[in-house]
């Protein structure tokens, strides 16, 4: 991880292998630490944004994303190449986010004073202080976690229903239902902002 | 409602292009005919487009650097295998390794432990020497050991080694303070109660002295604050007691002066065979009490080669080097421990201690015999006291009445002596008068001087008993107060005898015939 990979010095086959997640994993398992860095580079922003949208804030994004990749580093030798690496990575990320949310919930139970106040801002306040995309993100954060995560994976990360089902270990019908319910929830939240949505 | 939701759900999937081609065609037709569905599709589509445009987090350029450091930290050296967050795993691993080492190298491991134990024993048993100089153990101390089961451990006598019987029947050695209030039988008191003559007293002293070597060898001390006690001390105590009581029985049979009632009330004690008892303990094996441990050790004590000045304790009753003894009970850290007699571990000494005392329970080997004997021994003092209280009191003077004879008053006082009730006496006997303070008063109106040769006292009480030796020698054997009073009485009697002699001479000179003898009994 100390040396940068210089793609200019590589032949096309090497670049192809490097671009292939599976190939990078095999290289890492053979002892090539640089391959892991390439994997991190390739997926870190998706992981960070998924954490950000899942949690609804940036407070723990860095810590959780580090935990995710450390976990990947330790478990990569057990990867069975039966699914996309990204699907496996998102599953780890979502589980880490759930662990974090569980801890936050527990902490809030015992230390309610530390819980941030609900942001029940008025429509006027939101219009004046946020653009519509930020307002949408804020309302996404208000969705229940089990509906929020499939929606984020679909509309932010662009995963198919099948990939979402694999990542969250749900059946396809449940994914379809939860994404619909998330959209319905958002639609109701955003009814006052129809003009801005246009 | 469910049907409507299902339609909207399919609408959501249609938007995501997740319907099968057939479903998609059917749904397109539905969409054409339903303005509501079209409106909802527009709504979902607007939301979806907004979601896709939500700002991403700014890229973190140092993410890899921090991640590399964190991974390196967690995977360096042993951390890769032993997570410090899992001490249980580390502990379990070390335990397994240690068990493996012990199993594979058991003998060297045990040898190492034995060697360390031997080193500790050698340190604590170095320069152990007898606490007592056998030549200087006083008869009083030996007697106290025999009857009261107490041995002094320092010059002041405040710290003692006692032998006692536990509530559960076992015997104990105990190092403690002397303030337990037990009634102690005094050697002089014992000899007095048994009414021993000088020869008998010498015999008893020789019995006591015959145990001094054994007792001296049984308690060792050194400068490392170690006290070593030979368990045989328990047997020596029993044997010496038995010898003393047996002596009392034998002496009573021979002597005319010893009151049989005292001895008859003493328990009959079986002979103690020390060599048989010794089979229970190794005579060279000592219980060693050190400041932080207790153990058994084989120690060979040769009294012949010990410097006289090396003894840690010397009796204050005799001249000799007075060496300071370990002034306090060694503080044993363990409150309770077992010291095993042998490797079989079926016999063990139990040691209890706190900051003030140490108690060593001696294993019972012949419980029946020991218990019976111990019970008999403990009651000896009570039996002697009981025997004394039953004594008869007799005071008799054979004399004659002489007309116009001189009269004498005898007065003495022994306030600490209690006199039992007197038996009925013949009317011819003058009854001496005693008041509650034992003020004795007897008036003899007249005497035949010659009758003085048959004058005798026979007071059967051991405290008041005295005899007449020869015609005019009165031997007194009382306690000090009583002796003083009786000495005064003897002087009065002497004066009386001389006056009588003088009076007889006067009578002879005047040729006065003495009247016929008529005994007078008092």
* CATH code, domain carrying A23: 1.10.1740.10
Write the secondary structure of B65-131 as one string of H (helix), E (strand) and C (coil). Answer: HHHHHHHHHHHCHHHHCCCCCCHHHHHHHHHHHHHHHHHHCHHHHHHHHHHHHHHHHHHHHCCCEEC
Pick among A2, A28, A37, A184 to test the B interface (most B CBs inside 10 A)? A184
Which of B333, B486, B502 minimizes the C-alpha distance to B413? Answer: B486
From CA B38, how far away is CA B1, in angstroms rounded? 18
Higher pLDDT, B271 or B358: B358
* Residue extents of the structural domains in chain B: 2-52, 129-388, 399-520
Mean predicted confidence (pLDDT) in B431-444: 43
What pLDDT does B421 receive?
Answer: 47
Of A52, A161, A180, the CB nearest to B8: A180
Residue A4 lies in a domain: no
Are B175 and B161 a contacting pair, CB within 8 Å? yes
Other C-beta atoms lying within 10 Å of the C-beta of residue B495: 11
Q: Which residues of B touch A183 (CB under 8 A)?
A: 12, 44, 47-48
What pLDDT does B105 receive?
Answer: 78
pLDDT digits (tens, 9 = 90+) for B234-261: 888 888 888 887 787 777 666 544 444 4
From CA A132, how far away is CA A18, in angstroms rounded? 39
The CATH number of the domain holding residue A137 is 1.10.10.10
Higher pLDDT, A84 or A176: A176
Q: How many domains does chain A have?
A: 2
| B291 three-state secondary structure | coil
From CA B130, how far away is CA B488, in angstroms rounded? 48
Of A49, A177, A183, the CB nearest to B57: A49
Are B194 and B187 a contacting pair, CB within 8 Å? no
* A136/B67 CB distance under 8 A: no
Of A155, A176, A187, the CB nearest to B13: A176
CA atoms within 13 A on the CB side of B441: 5
Q: How far is CA B462 from CA A154, B260, B445, in A?
A: 118, 10, 29
Helix residue ranges, H only, B398-458? none
- CA-based nearest distance B225→chain A, Å: 58
Final residue before a domain boundary, out of A67, A94, A116:
A116
Are B278 and B120 a contacting pair, CB within 8 Å? no
* Residue B156 pLDDT class (50, 70, 90 cuts): low
DSSP B231: T
Q: Which residues of B touch A180 (CB under 8 A)?
A: 5, 8-9, 11-13
Q: Which residue of A has its CA nearest to B50?
A: A133
Q: Are residues A83 and A123 in the same domain?
A: no
pLDDT exceeds 50 at position B450: no
* A156/B53 CB distance under 8 A: no
pLDDT exceeds 50 at position B440: no
DSSP B32: H
Q: Are residues A149 and A80 in the same domain?
A: no
Scanning A111-170 for CB atoms below 8 A from B yields 132-134, 136-137, 140, 151, 154-156, 160-161
Of B16, B47, B59, the CB nearest to A197: B47
Q: Which residues of B touch A42 (CB under 8 A)?
A: none
Higher pLDDT, B166 or B245: B245
* B63/A2 CB distance under 8 A: no
**Structural element, H or E, at residue B285:** strand B285-290
Final residue before a domain boundary, out of A52, A81, A116:
A116
Sign of the Cα torsion B459, B460, B463, B468 reads positive
Scanning A49-88 for CB atoms below 8 A from B yields 49, 52-53, 58, 61-62, 65-66, 69-70, 73
Per the structure, the complete domain to which residue A28 belongs is given by: 11-116
* Residue B428 pLDDT class (50, 70, 90 cuts): very low
Q: Are residues A52 and A135 in the same domain?
A: no
pLDDT exceeds 60 at position B46: yes
Other C-beta atoms lying within 10 Å of the C-beta of residue B272: 19
Residue B109 makes CB contacts below 8 A (sequence gap 6+) with B101, B102
Of A1, A2, A136, the CB nearest to B50: A136
* A186/B47 CB distance under 8 A: yes
From CA B179, how far away is CA B159, in angstroms rounded? 10
Distance separating the N- and C-terminal Cα atoms of chain A: 47
Which of A48, A138, A58, A196 minimizes the C-alpha distance to B49? Answer: A196
Residue A16 lies in a domain: yes
Other C-beta atoms lying within 10 Å of the C-beta of residue B385: 15
A-B C-beta contacts closer than 8 Å: 94
Residue A3 lies in a domain: no
Q: Are residues A108 and A21 in the same domain?
A: yes
- CA-based nearest distance B21→chain A, Å: 16
pLDDT exceeds 60 at position B225: yes
Q: Are residues A20 and A109 in the same domain?
A: yes
Q: Are residues A18 and A111 in the same domain?
A: yes
Helix residue ranges, H only, B186-315? 187-194, 198-209, 212-218, 232-254, 260-264, 274-278
Of A41, A61, A151, the CB nearest to B57: A61
- CA-based nearest distance A193→chain B, Å: 11
pLDDT exceeds 90 at position A68: yes
* A197/B66 CB distance under 8 A: no
Residue A54 lies in a domain: yes
pLDDT exceeds 50 at position B439: no
Q: Are strands B519-520 and B293-298 parallel, antiparallel or unpaired?
A: unpaired
Are A43 and A89 a contacting pair, CB within 8 Å? yes
pLDDT digits (tens, 9 = 90+) for A125-146: 666 666 777 888 888 888 888 8
Residue A73 lies in a domain: yes
Are B241 and B269 a contacting pair, CB within 8 Å? yes
Q: Are residues A185 and A160 in the same domain?
A: yes
* A176/B46 CB distance under 8 A: no
* A70/B43 CB distance under 8 A: no
From CA B244, how far away is CA B246, in angstroms rounded? 5
From CA A49, how far away is CA B191, in angstroms rounded? 107
Q: Are residues A78 and A104 in the same domain?
A: yes
Q: Which residues of B touch A154 (CB under 8 A)?
A: 16
Pick among B5, B7, B12, B81 to test the A interface (most A CBs inside 10 A)? B12
Are B462 and B195 a contacting pair, CB within 8 Å? yes
Q: Are residues A25 and A98 in the same domain?
A: yes
**Structural element, H or E, at residue B359:** strand B358-362
* A176/B70 CB distance under 8 A: no
Of B8, B9, B56, the CB nearest to A49: B56
Are B214 and B482 a contacting pair, CB within 8 Å? no
> Looking at this predicted complex, what is its ipTM?
0.80
| B268 three-state secondary structure | coil
* Residue A175 pLDDT class (50, 70, 90 cuts): very high
pLDDT exceeds 70 at position B190: yes
Return the minimum-mean-pLDDT range out of B233-247, B301-315, B474-488. Answer: B474-488
* B12/A176 CB distance under 8 A: yes
Q: Are residues A56 and A141 in the same domain?
A: no
Mean predicted confidence (pLDDT) in B125-134: 80
Provide the token pair at A129.
């202080």
Mean predicted confidence (pLDDT) in B121-128: 82
Final residue before a domain boundary, out of A100, A116, A132:
A116
What pLDDT does A12 receive?
Answer: 53
Return the minimum-mean-pLDDT range out of A12-26, B53-67, B495-509. Answer: A12-26
Scanning A3-42 for CB atoms below 8 A from B yields 37, 40-41
Q: Are residues A109 and A126 in the same domain?
A: no
Mean predicted confidence (pLDDT) in B501-506: 75
What pLDDT does B117 receive?
Answer: 79
Chain B residues with CB-CB distance to A under 8 A?
5, 8-9, 11-13, 16, 18, 43-44, 46-48, 50-57, 59-60, 63-64, 66-68, 70-71, 74
Q: Are residues A193 and A98 in the same domain?
A: no
Residue A123 lies in a domain: yes
């Amino acid at each position: 991880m100390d040396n940068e990979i210089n793609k200019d010095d590589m032949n096309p086959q090497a670049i192809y292998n490097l671009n292939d997640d599976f190939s990078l994993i095999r290289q890492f398992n053979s002892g090539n630490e640089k391959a892991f860095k390439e994997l991190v580079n390739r997926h870190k922003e998706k992981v960070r944004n998924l954490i950000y949208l899942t949690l609804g804030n940036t407070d723990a994004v860095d810590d959780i994303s580090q935990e995710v990749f450390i976990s990947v580093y330790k478990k990569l030798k057990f990867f069975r190449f039966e699914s996309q690496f990204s699907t496996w990575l998102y599953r780890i990320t979502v589980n880490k986010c759930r662990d974090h949310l569980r801890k936050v919930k527990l902490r809030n139970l015992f230390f309610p004073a530390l819980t941030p106040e609900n942001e029940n801002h008025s429509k006027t306040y939101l219009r004046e202080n946020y653009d519509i995309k930020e307002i949408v993100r804020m309302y996404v954060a208000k969705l229940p976690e089990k509906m929020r995560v499939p929606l984020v994976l679909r509309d932010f990360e662009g995963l198919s229903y099948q990939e979402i089902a694999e990542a969250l270990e749900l059946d396809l019908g449940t994914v379809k239902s939860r994404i619909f319910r998330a959209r319905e929830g958002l639609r109701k939240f955003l009814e006052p902002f129809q003009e801005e949505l246009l | 409602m469910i049907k409507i939701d299902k339609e909207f759900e399919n609408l959501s999937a249609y938007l995501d292009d997740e319907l099968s081609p057939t479903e998609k065609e059917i749904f397109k037709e539905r969409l054409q005919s339903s303005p509501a569905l079209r409106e909802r599709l527009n709504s979902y589509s607007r939301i979806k487009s907004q979601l896709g445009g939500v700002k991403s987090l700014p890229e973190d350029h140092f993410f890899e650097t921090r991640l590399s450091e964190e991974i390196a930290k967690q995977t360096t050296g042993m951390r890769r295998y032993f997570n410090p967050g899992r001490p249980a795993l580390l502990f379990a691993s070390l335990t397994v390794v240690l068990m493996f080492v012990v199993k594979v190298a058991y003998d060297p491991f045990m040898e190492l432990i034995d060697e360390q134990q031997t080193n500790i024993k050698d340190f604590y048993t170095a320069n152990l020497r007898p606490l007592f100089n056998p030549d200087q153990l006083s008869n009083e101390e030996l007697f106290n050991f025999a009857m009261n089961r107490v041995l002094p451990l320092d010059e002041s006598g405040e710290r003692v080694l006692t032998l006692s019987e536990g509530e559960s029947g076992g015997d104990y050695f105990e190092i403690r303070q002397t303030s337990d209030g037990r009634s102690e039988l005094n050697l002089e008191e014992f000899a007095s109660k048994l009414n021993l003559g000088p020869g008998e007293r010498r015999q008893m002293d020789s019995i006591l002295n015959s145990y001094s070597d054994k007792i001296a060898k049984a308690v060792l001390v050194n400068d490392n604050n170690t006290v070593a006690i030979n368990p045989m001390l328990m047997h020596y105590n029993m044997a010496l007691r038995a010898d003393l009581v047996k002596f009392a029985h034998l002496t009573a049979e021979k002597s005319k002066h010893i009151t049989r009632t005292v001895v008859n009330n003493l328990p009959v004690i079986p002979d103690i065979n020390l060599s048989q008892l010794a089979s229970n303990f190794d005579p060279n094996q000592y219980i060693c009490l050190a400041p932080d441990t207790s153990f058994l050790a084989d120690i060979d004590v040769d009294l012949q080669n010990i410097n006289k000045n090396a003894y840690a304790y010397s009796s204050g009753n005799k001249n000799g080097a007075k060496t300071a003894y370990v002034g306090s009970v060694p503080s044993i850290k363990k409150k309770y421990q077992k010291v095993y007699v042998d490797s079989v571990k079926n016999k063990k000494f139990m040691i209890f201690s706190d900051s003030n005392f140490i108690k060593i329970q001696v294993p019972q080997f012949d419980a029946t015999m020991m218990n019976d004997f111990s019970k008999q021994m403990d009651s000896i003092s009570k039996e002697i006291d009981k025997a004394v209280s039953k004594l008869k009191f007799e005071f008799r003077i054979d004399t004659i009445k002489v007309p116009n004879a001189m009269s004498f008053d005898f007065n003495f006082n022994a306030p600490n002596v209690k006199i039992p009730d007197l038996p009925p006496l013949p009317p011819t006997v003058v009854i001496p008068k005693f008041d509650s303070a034992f003020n004795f008063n007897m008036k003899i109106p007249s005497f035949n001087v010659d009758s003085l040769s048959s004058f005798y006292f026979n007071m059967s009480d051991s405290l008041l008993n005295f005899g007449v030796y020869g015609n005019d020698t009165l031997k007194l054997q009382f306690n000090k107060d009583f002796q003083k009073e009786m000495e005064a009485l003897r002087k009065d009697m002497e004066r009386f005898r001389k006056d009588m002699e003088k009076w007889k001479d006067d009578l002879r000179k005047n040729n006065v015939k003495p009247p016929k003898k008529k005994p007078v009994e008092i």
